[in-house]
């Protein structure tokens, strides 16, 4: 269902002016505008060994490296990193002939997306909490074929065996048509040791039947507005339970999303940020997947197909196992381009059984 359903009012706090900590260790030249630190794109390209940015048109710059690419648009929050859309917290800004990205976005999105293997608290895991959205009286979004709650449970039942066959333990927040409060879902996540949390949903729009595509969410960093909001609010300064692991959550979201986009044809709505209850309350890496729009006839015609749902389940499982490989072996996960190239050469990328997982 439209992910808004996860938002709960948060207590107001006094806005504090203290700067949030950053994980970036390099000495960046910072440019300060409107009370916020920014970094020059040229410096970012040099730091990540990307070719210099070149203009695509008046409003866009692109850097095309062999393995990694970045494309930015002035005054926009969407940027492309290695073939998928990421939503920044603040728009890219052009000042005094400099293209600038906020320091927060560099630390919280660009850096973990470009080199997730460098994230400090990237803990190996043995357990995956699979969370089928909605259930019971909370039916989620409507479609003439089935309610969202039925599709989400069906998806989890398709993903589960792929993970257990690979040696991972799976816990479900529900395995029947029952209502499970959002806080309880997060409690189940927080009780598990060495675990990650993956929530499955399908989208719907009451006002725009043309809305289509995949998107994935991880928790909004402290000091940033969620993707849905344009401006900062007082509540954005709250440190949520999910914030200490927000870099790992972003890496998990990016890894799963590349696999989804690399294996299943669907428009790219991007890697987004939200403070949905299950994301802000989970103390383990947590993501929420929106697997297409039940309100869009073209998306729905795919979602109702069992073989399409199998394909989506495999792509999500593959993403989870890539993340497992990242946390265990510090191998950078594959990108959408690498999956597509492998598919063209008829190489199988669904190497579920090839990834060593220690059984417990």
Binding site for Zn ion (CB under 5 A): 1, 133, 140, 201
**In this structure, what token pair is assigned to residue 133?**
């959205």
**In this structure, what token pair is assigned to residue 67?**
């393995």
Distance CA 54, CA 57 (A): 9
Nearer CB in complex with Zn ion: 133/285: 133
Tell me the β-bridge partners of 85: 80
Whats the size of the chain, residue-wise? Answer: 360
E strand spans, the chain: 30-33, 36-40, 54-57, 60-64, 69-73, 78-81, 84-87, 93-95, 98-102, 127-132, 169-172, 195-203, 214-219, 268-274, 286-293
DSSP 135: B
> 3-state DSSP call for residue 278?
helix
Least CB distance to Zn ion at residue 1 (A): 3
Least CB distance to Zn ion at residue 263 (A): 22
Which value, to the nearest 10 degrees, does the dihedral of the CA atoms of residues 330, 352, 256, 181 take?
-110
Cα 296 to Cα 83, 132, 142, 228, 313: the distances in Å are: 24, 21, 11, 20, 20
Least CB distance to Zn ion at residue 155 (A): 12
Nearer CB in complex with Zn ion: 152/349: 152
Distance CA 280, CA 320 (A): 20
Nearer CB in complex with Zn ion: 1/61: 1
Distance CA 312, CA 188 (A): 25
Least CB distance to Zn ion at residue 226 (A): 16
Least CB distance to Zn ion at residue 137 (A): 14
Nearer CB in complex with Zn ion: 203/327: 203
Nearer CB in complex with Zn ion: 1/253: 1
- The 3 state secondary structure assigned to 217-258 is EEECCCCCCCCCCCCCCHHHHCCCCCHHHHHHHHHHHHHHHH
Least CB distance to Zn ion at residue 240 (A): 20
Least CB distance to Zn ion at residue 2 (A): 7
Nearer CB in complex with Zn ion: 138/310: 138
Nearer CB in complex with Zn ion: 199/220: 199
């Amino acid at each position: 269902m439209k992910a808004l359903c996860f938002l709960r009012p948060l207590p107001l706090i006094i806005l504090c002016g203290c700067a949030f900590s950053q994980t970036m260790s390099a000495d960046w030249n910072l440019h300060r505008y409107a009370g916020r630190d920014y970094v020059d794109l040229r410096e970012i390209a040099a730091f990540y060994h990307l070719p210099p940015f070149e203009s695509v048109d008046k409003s866009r710059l692109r850097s095309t490296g062999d393995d990694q690419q970045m494309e930015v648009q002035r005054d926009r929050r969407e940027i492309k990193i290695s073939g998928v859309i990421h939503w920044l917290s603040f728009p890219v800004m052009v000042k005094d002939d400099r293209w600038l990205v906020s320091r927060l976005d560099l630390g919280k999105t660009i850096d973990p997306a470009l080199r997730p293997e460098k994230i400090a608290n990237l803990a190996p895991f043995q357990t995956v909490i699979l969370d089928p959205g909605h259930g019971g009286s909370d039916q989620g979004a409507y479609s003439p074929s089935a309610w969202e709650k039925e599709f989400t449970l069906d998806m989890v039942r398709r993903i589960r065996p792929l993970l257990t066959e690979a040696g991972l333990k799976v816990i479900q927040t529900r395995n029947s048509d029952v209502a499970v409060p959002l806080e309880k879902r997060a409690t189940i996540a927080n009780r598990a040791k060495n675990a990650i949390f993956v929530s499955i949903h399908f989208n719907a729009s009451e006002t725009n039947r043309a809305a289509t595509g995949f998107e994935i969410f991880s928790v909004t960093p402290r000091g940033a507005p969620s993707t849905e909001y344009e401006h900062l609010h007082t509540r954005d300064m709250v440190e949520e339970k999910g914030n200490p692991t927000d870099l790992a959550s972003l890496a998990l979201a990016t890894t799963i999303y590349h696999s989804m986009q690399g294996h299943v044809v669907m428009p790219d709505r991007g890697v987004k940020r939200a403070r949905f209850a299950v994301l802000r309350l989970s103390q383990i890496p947590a993501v929420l997947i929106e697997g297409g729009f039940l309100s869009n006839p073209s998306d729905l015609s795919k979602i109702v197909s069992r073989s399409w749902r199998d394909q989506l389940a495999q792509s999500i499982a593959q993403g989870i196992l890539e993340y497992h490989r990242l946390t265990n072996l510090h191998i950078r996960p594959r990108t959408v381009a690498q999956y597509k190239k492998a598919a063209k050469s008829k190489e199988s990328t669904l190497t579920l059984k090839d990834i060593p997982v220690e059984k417990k």
